[in-house]
Amino acid sequence: MHINSFITAKPPNSLIGFRFQVTSTSMKIDLHCHSYFSDGKHSPDFLIKRAIANRVTHLAITDHDCITTLDNSISLEPGLCLISGVEISCDWQAREIHVVGLCIDPQHRELLELLERQRAARNARILQMDAKLKALGIDGLAEYCAALPCQSATRSHVADFLVVQGHCKNRQKAFKNFLTTRGRIYVQYDWCDMAAAIAVIHTAGGLAVLAHPGRYSLSKHRLENLVDDFAAAGGDGLEASYGNIDPVTKNKLCEMASSKHLYVSAGSDFHDSEAHWTDIGKFPALDQPANKNAIWEHPGWHSR
Ligand code: AMP
Ligand code: MN
Ligand code: MN
Ligand code: MN
């Protein structure tokens, strides 16, 4: 399906809009990034300005388990098309998997209800981590999280707290020593099932994309199982390129998408401009064959 003319209309400022008409010849996409609505460091406004500066034509802000809303003062320029997005944490065979929803109706009741349950599980998890930290003599996590501008509290925020309080040198060390499954205050997640995430994205008129499949530390065989289950549950696409992916993994994911008849998506997974290796719009380019089954060619990309 072809996308045919540049945007002229301004999307509503209160919500990230979707499906504005654009040309396919000059597309530069970024369909995965985070603002401070979840664990990104910056405002949606910052992301939009950065996308424009980096000549991105299609941007999806995909915060964890929440809908990112725009400030009314943000002026959207013609030439940047905003795709409404979300990244849902979910469970697949006792593993934590992320599914990106694109072109969703950001006001769909069932989607909002699922996201609310996810955030309730996040808040409960933070309280359990707070209790574990208190037992180690570290106070104040719950208060720190309550004062953040985010809607979705994540382990990244807990890592920041541990760094700010001087208990860890950096985020990586905080994850390694405290927050990964073998960490001192690890608390089991309580996310929806992967199939439920895919279903609710579809119910909200969107397309479901398996986020960063190469980051789950799965064997080749298990990754195939995951992708097969994702496809069987109606998933639409795989993220075949993202920040820091190596060329071998990228090519493997492009081939996998093609062999499983899935579309291909891509995005930076940008969180923070101080992490100099990431930027909006920055990830290894998809090659031409992958562009043929690009997610923006999916018939559902436009229609609701
Ligand atoms: P949560 O959804 O609360 O489990 O937090 C997951 C978020 O933490 C991810 O979206 C990443 O941004 C971040 N994260 C996960 N693992 C690591 C790690 N090892 N080092 C740094 N950040 C991480
Ligand atoms: Mn994150
Ligand atoms: Mn993710
Ligand atoms: Mn992400």
CA pair distance 87, 94, nearest whole angstrom? 18
Q: CA triplet 67, 232, 201: central angle to 5 degrees?
A: 15
Protein residues placing their CB within 5 Å of the ion ligand 2: 39
Q: What would the pLDDT profile of 258-288 be if each residue is shown by its tens digit?
A: 999 999 999 999 999 999 899 999 999 998 7
Q: What is the pLDDT of residue 129?
A: 98
Find out whether 107 and 243 touch, Cβ atoms under 8 Å: no
Cα of 61 to ligand 4 centre, how many Å? 9
Residues pairing with 40 in the sheet: none
Q: What's the mean per-residue pLDDT of the chain? A: 90
Q: What would the pLDDT profile of 221-232 be if each residue is shown by its tens digit?
A: 999 999 999 999
Cα of 270 to ligand 4 centre, how many Å? 7
Q: What is the pLDDT of residue 49?
A: 95
Whether pLDDT at 304 is above 80: no
Cα of 194 to ligand 2 centre, how many Å? 18
pLDDT tier at 52, thresholds 50, 70, 90: very high
Instruction: Compute how many other C-beta atoms are within 10 angstroms of the C-beta atom of residue 284.
Output: 17
Domains of the chain in sequence order: 3-114+192-301 (3.20.20.140), 116-179 (1.10.150)
Whether pLDDT at 57 is above 70: yes
Cα of 155 to ligand 1 centre, how many Å? 6
Q: What would the pLDDT profile of 112-168 be if each residue is shown by its tens digit?
A: 999 999 999 999 999 999 999 999 999 999 999 999 999 999 999 999 999 999 999
Find out whether 119 and 66 touch, Cβ atoms under 8 Å: yes
Q: What type of residue sits at position 86?
A: V
- Which of 154, 160, 169, 182 has the most ligand 1 atoms within 8 A of CB, as the residue to mutate? 154
pLDDT tier at 72, thresholds 50, 70, 90: confident
User: What ligand 1 atom has the least distance to the C-alpha of 154?
Assistant: 3
Q: What would the pLDDT profile of 246-259 be if each residue is shown by its tens digit?
A: 999 999 999 999 99
- Which of 155, 161, 179, 217 has the most ligand 1 atoms within 8 A of CB, as the residue to mutate? 155
Q: What is the pLDDT of residue 302?
A: 63
Stretch (H or E) spanning 154: none
The ligand that comes nearest to the alpha carbon of residue 62 is 4
Whether pLDDT at 175 is above 70: yes
Cα of 212 to ligand 3 centre, how many Å? 7
Whether pLDDT at 2 is above 50: no
Whether pLDDT at 3 is above 70: no
